[in-house]
Structure formats: C-alpha cells, structure tokens
Amino acid sequence: MKKWIKITLSIAGGIVLLTCAGGYYVYKNYFPKEPERIVYDKDRVLKPIHNQLKGINIDNVKIKEKEVVNATVNELQKMIDDGKLSYEELTSIYLFRIQEHDQNGISLNAVTEINPNAMEEARKLDKERSSNKKSNLYGMPVIVKDNVQTEKVMPTSAGTYVLKDWIADEDATIVKKLKEEGAFVLGKANMSEWANYLSFTMPSGYSGKKGQNLNPYGPITFDTSGSSSGSATVVAADFAPLAIGTETTGSIVAPATQQSVVGLRPSLGMVSRSGIIPLAETLDTAGPMARTVKDAATLLNVMVSYDEKDAMTEKMKDKERIDYTKDLSIDGLKGKKIGVLFSIDRQDENRKDVAEKIRKDLQDAGAILTDDIQLNDGGVDNLQTLEYEFKHNVNDYLAQQKNVPVKSLEEIIAFNKKDSNRRIKYGQTLIEGSEKSAITKDEFEKIVRSSQENARKELDRYLVEKGLDALVMINNEEVLLSAVAGYPELAVPAGYDNNGEPVGAVFVGKQFSEKKLFNIGYAYEQQSKNRRSPKL
C-alpha cells in the first residue's frame, strides 16, 4: 500500500531538505528505514515443525526435495499420480525447507505460523484421494497471509503484537473454499504490519509479531515490498506451491514483481473478504500468488464466489463460473493490443535492458504495442480513503470477534505505547492519524465516489475507447488507478536488472477481464521464460 504515500512524501521531503533545517526531521519521520535482520519468536514456527517431523526419514525428504523444488501444481499432481510422491511427503518437504531456510540458514522469516496438524491432514488426504479428489488443488499445501482467519488452530494477527496469539473461531470464506477442494492451510505468511498502514518509517515486510521478512533474491539488499511480502517469499523460495495475499493498493503485485513470482489482484467484488482483517473495504481484495500464471489461475478458480457475508460480491451471484486455466496458450498475445505505460529512456540505467526485453518479448509473442501512454491520476485519492476507513473498518471487525484482546483502534494504540520499543519499533503515526481523523462520512463517500469515477474514466480512455486489450507497466509504478477503479492487475516475472534485482511486468485490464489477462500473462510467460529460482 505504502508506495503512493512514499511518492507524495518523497517530493515534499525533498523540497524541505533543500530549503530548511527541518529536512532531517522529515527524513527521520517520513522515510522508510533500512531493513534489519530481526526474527522474533522462532519457536512458534520451529516447534510445530519439529513435532511433525519426528520419525520422518529426513534423508528421504532431501532426496525427494530435489524433484519438488520449482515444480508446478500439475507436475506435483503427476508425481503423486505416478506413485513417486505422496501428499504427506510433499508436506514434509515444505516443512523441512521452512525449518532450514526460513527460520534458520538464510532466515527469510516469511512464515509466522505453522499448522500443527498439517502432516495429519496430508495423511488423511492421501487415504481419501481415490474417492474425494475434485480438482488439481486437492492435497496442495497453501500458505495464507496473516490477516486471513484460520479457525481454532493458528492465530490471525495482521502482523501485530497485540493479536499475535489471538485465534479466530471461524475460517475466512476463502479458506473454507480451499478446504472444500481438498487443499489445506500449511501456515501463515509474514506481512507488513497492518497491511503497510502503521508507520511511514517501517520497512516493507516488517511486523511486530515476527520481525523482518527478507527477499530471497537479495536478503537486506533488495526490498521485499509489501504488504503481502511473506506470501511472495514463500512461493519464491519453495516453502509452498501456492499462497494467498491481500491488496489495497499494490500489496499483491508489488511484492510479486520484487520477488519474481506471479500475483493477481482480482477485480473488486470477485473474491470474498469475509474473515480477513480489513484495511479499507472500498479497496481491499484477496488474490492468488504462485510461481506460474497457470498455478495462479488454478488458485483463483477456487477463490471466486458470491458470499452473503460480503456485499461487494453481489456482482458474482449470477455470474457464470469460469475456468481460468482453460485454453491458456502461447498464442494468447497474438494480435492483442497492449498499451505501454513505461519509457525505456526514463528507466534507471540498471533496468533499461529489462525494459527493452519486456517490449521485445511482447512483440515476439505477437502483441501490437501502443506507446507514449501517460495516465493522469488527477482527482484520484486513496490516502484520505485509508485514513477514514481504517479506523471504522478495524473497529467494526473487532466488535464482531470473540475473545479478542482489544476492541478498538484506540485500545490498540494505547497497548502499543506500553512497550513501544518492542511493539512498535518504527512508531505508529499512520494508525494514530486514522484514530484522530476529522474526515466525515459524507466527505469520505464523496471522495470514494469521485476517485473511483475518475480512475475508471482514465483507464477506460484506453481500455474501452481505444480498444486496448490491456495496459502494461514495470513493477507497480501505475497501480493507483487500477486499485481505486477496482480493475484487475496481473504481475508476471520480467527478468532481473544489472544488480540481479527482480523486475516484473504488470498487466491491467477492464473489470472482470481476468480470463483475458491470464491468457496474455501466460503467453508472455511462455515467450519470455524469465523466471529463475533464488539461491538459498
């Protein structure tokens, strides 16, 4: 989420730094700090892994690990169909990798919780496979962001210290949908605390609950981006084949591009948010993250649904079910008109080669490019939306929960102040601002309505009036408009800059055009073959 706040304050801060002695104050209080290696409470992850790997032949795990790393969902299912692997063995491999690389070794710190019953659930799925397998998700371990409720076995915290041990009494709707297909939750992913809405100075990937999540392509060196930082890391580092992230403004596609994975922000209203700790309900959504476009599409198939608990999904009530994996083809870009939102000349020198390759890969796949598109985000505001909604959404959410240790944002702020060095290492200026906000409901509704209309009008100038099939940007440079409009964004790995830092191409389409976006993204992925796994 924080990208747009950073841009606004970078400009303001730069002016202040040049013109007055207050510049240091701005830098100190409004610019993200450099990430540090901070891992809190390792035992909450290691203990349930240790308990479940007792008696497991680790030599066998290491042998089969080589076949599992970087495998797609289809490839994993084929290994199981052929008797070369079981769901129990698959689960043990991921648990072992989390133990070795996430909480030890390189210490990526992407995982906050482990399902203590994961191996038991995998064994049960092995036994029932012949009669109960419904889809390719059957038996697949999925890691969900730590703001997604999982009933009775794992805490749900939004990365906060105050909720680090709180366990919800009901699964989020999307978790229920996963279980209906025979998938199961392996664990929870670290995240930028409060979905990156805690403090201007907090680095992406940091949470008071678990500490600093690191980018597997360059720990400390490269930003994880956020707020779904851990969800990106767990699939990039092969701690799970699939993950679920959430996005308000850029929080799925930004970490996806930064960590060389695929991430989809679905159209607003496609996926239920019931059972997800909110940031701003007029913007929030959940989406799939995976190593390939097809795997992300496989996960979205299950996530899409109408839910009476989320009024925004009313749009899905009478919509025909779509298989987003069907008809994916390397020819998906042939004749497609793609609007290019970046200029090679304006790229950092380290990234120019990647920018040129994105253009070449698109053209080689048959796309027709339209250049020199300059989006105008005037009249589009998400900062006041966040300031107003966060307080009201969090208070409403807490009021509906049982056994929660706090019942309001005011109580959270007071709790944090009692041990600020541990609970809010980087401060809590953003949530304090939300608590004190003087924005009225009428003002908020006017801002939301106007911003959404302006964002859709600007995107539709190209996607409707000029007949473009999609727009493409580098990383998350232009996501404000699509996020506010509620339009889908698909991030696909695009390569690496001269320093080895991942770069992604993000495609934006019209509302509910996910099928077309997946076709475009798949063709681009197959043409470019850009992704490589990190060295752990």
Work out the average pLDDT over 410-430.
99
The pLDDT of residue 328 is above 90:
yes
Q: What is the pLDDT of residues 493-517, one digit of tens each?
A: 999 999 999 999 999 999 999 999 9
| DSSP, residue by residue, 107-122 | ----EEEE-TTHHHHH
On whether the CB atoms of residues 518 and 527 are closer than 8 A, the answer is: no
Q: pLDDT value at position 29?
A: 59
Other residues' Cβ atoms within 10 Å of the Cβ of residue 84: 11
For residue 38, the SS3 value is coil
Residue 436 lies in a domain: no
Q: What is the pLDDT of residues 123-139, one digit of tens each?
A: 999 999 989 888 999 99
Same domain for 160 and 233?
Answer: yes
- Name the residue type at position 243: A
Higher pLDDT: 505 or 14? It is: 505
Same domain for 154 and 283?
Answer: yes
The pLDDT of residue 159 is above 50:
yes
**Averaged pLDDT score across all residues of the chain:** 95
Same domain for 201 and 261?
Answer: yes
User: Which one of 192, 207, 228, 251 is the catalytic residue?
Assistant: 251
Q: pLDDT value at position 15?
A: 36
pTM of the model as a whole: 0.95
Euclidean distance between CA atoms 165 and 174, whole angstroms: 21
Euclidean distance between CA atoms 427 and 300, whole angstroms: 36
Torsion, CA 175, CA 179, CA 181, CA 185, rounded to 10: 70
Report strand pairing: 337-340 vs 285-290: unpaired
Euclidean distance between CA atoms 81 and 503, whole angstroms: 35
| CB burial readout 486-520, b (16+ within 10 A) else e | bbbbbbbbbbbbeeebbbbbbbbbbbbbbbbbbbb
Contacts 24+ apart (CB under 8 A), 441-445: 441/388, 443/384, 443/388, 444/384, 444/385, 444/388, 444/389
The pLDDT of residue 318 is above 80:
yes
Work out the average pLDDT over 362-369.
99
On whether the CB atoms of residues 393 and 277 are closer than 8 A, the answer is: no
Domains: count for the chain: 3
Q: What is the pLDDT of residues 67-76, one digit of tens each?
A: 999 999 999 9
**CATH code (residue 54):** 3.90.1300.10
Q: pLDDT value at position 1?
A: 55
Q: What's the Rg (C-alpha) of the chain?
A: 22
The pLDDT of residue 9 is above 50:
no
Which helix (H) or strand (E) element contains residue 80? helix 73-81
Residue 237: C-alpha distances to residues 59, 112, 263 (Å): 20, 15, 15
Same domain for 342 and 372?
Answer: yes
| DSSP, residue by residue, 265-331 | EPPTTSB--TTB--S-TTT-EEEEEESSHHHHHHHHHHHB---TT-GGGGGGTTPPP--TTTT--TT
Q: 289: which strand partners?
A: 243, 263
Nearest of 126, 135, 64, 124 to residue 95 by alpha carbon: 64
Phi then psi for 494, rounded to 5 degrees? -120, -5
The pLDDT of residue 21 is above 70:
no
Residue 447 lies in a domain: no
Euclidean distance between CA atoms 405 and 284, whole angstroms: 24
Residue 124 lies in a domain: yes
What whole-number percentage of the chain has pLDDT above 70? 94
The pLDDT of residue 8 is above 70:
no
- Name the residue type at position 78: K
Work out the average pLDDT over 182-192.
99
Same domain for 179 and 238?
Answer: yes
Query: Any idea how long the chain is?
Result: 536
Same domain for 255 and 372?
Answer: no
State the first-to-last Cα distance of the chain, in angstroms, to the nearest integer: 28
As separate numbers, helices (DSSP H) first and strands (DSSP E) second, the chain gives: 20, 13
The pLDDT of residue 382 is above 80:
yes
**289-295-297 Cα angle (round to 5):** 85
Residue 397 lies in a domain: no
Work out the average pLDDT over 362-368.
99
Residue 185 lies in a domain: yes
Q: What is the DSSP letter of 198?
A: S
Euclidean distance between CA atoms 176 and 192, whole angstroms: 24
Q: pLDDT value at position 71?
A: 99
Work out the average pLDDT over 408-424.
99
Same domain for 168 and 297?
Answer: yes
Q: What is the pLDDT of residues 259-294, one digit of tens each?
A: 999 999 999 999 999 999 999 999 999 999 999 999
Active site residue 326: no
Residue 99: C-alpha distances to residues 228, 277, 443, 469 (Å): 21, 27, 49, 44
Sheet strands side by side (includes 470-474): 111-114, 184-189, 141-145, 242-247, 285-290, 262-265, 489-496, 502-508, 470-474, 337-340, 368-370
On whether the CB atoms of residues 504 and 489 are closer than 8 A, the answer is: no
Find the helix packing angle between 43-53 and 87-97, rounded to 10°: 140
Q: pLDDT value at position 460?
A: 98
Residue 311 lies in a domain: no
Higher pLDDT: 387 or 13? It is: 387
Same domain for 51 and 174?
Answer: yes
User: Which one of 204, 207, 227, 305 is the catalytic residue?
Assistant: 227
Same domain for 257 and 290?
Answer: yes
Same domain for 96 and 21?
Answer: no
Q: What is the pLDDT of residues 457-483, one digit of tens each?
A: 999 999 999 999 999 999 999 999 999
Same domain for 111 and 154?
Answer: yes
Q: 206: which strand partners?
A: 212
The pLDDT of residue 393 is above 80:
yes
Phi then psi for 445, rounded to 5 degrees? -65, -35
User: Which one of 2, 3, 64, 145 is the catalytic residue?
Assistant: 145
Range of the domain at 3: 1-31
Residue 330 lies in a domain: no
Euclidean distance between CA atoms 147 and 242, whole angstroms: 16
Other residues' Cβ atoms within 10 Å of the Cβ of residue 457: 16
Active site residue 251: yes
- Name the residue type at position 96: F
Higher pLDDT: 169 or 4? It is: 169
The pLDDT of residue 392 is above 70:
yes
Same domain for 460 and 515?
Answer: yes
Active site residue 86: no
Contacts 24+ apart (CB under 8 A), 7-16: 8/383, 9/200
What whole-number percentage of the chain has pLDDT above 90? 92
Residue 322 lies in a domain: no
Where is average pLDDT lowest: 4-13, 379-388, 417-426, 434-443? 4-13
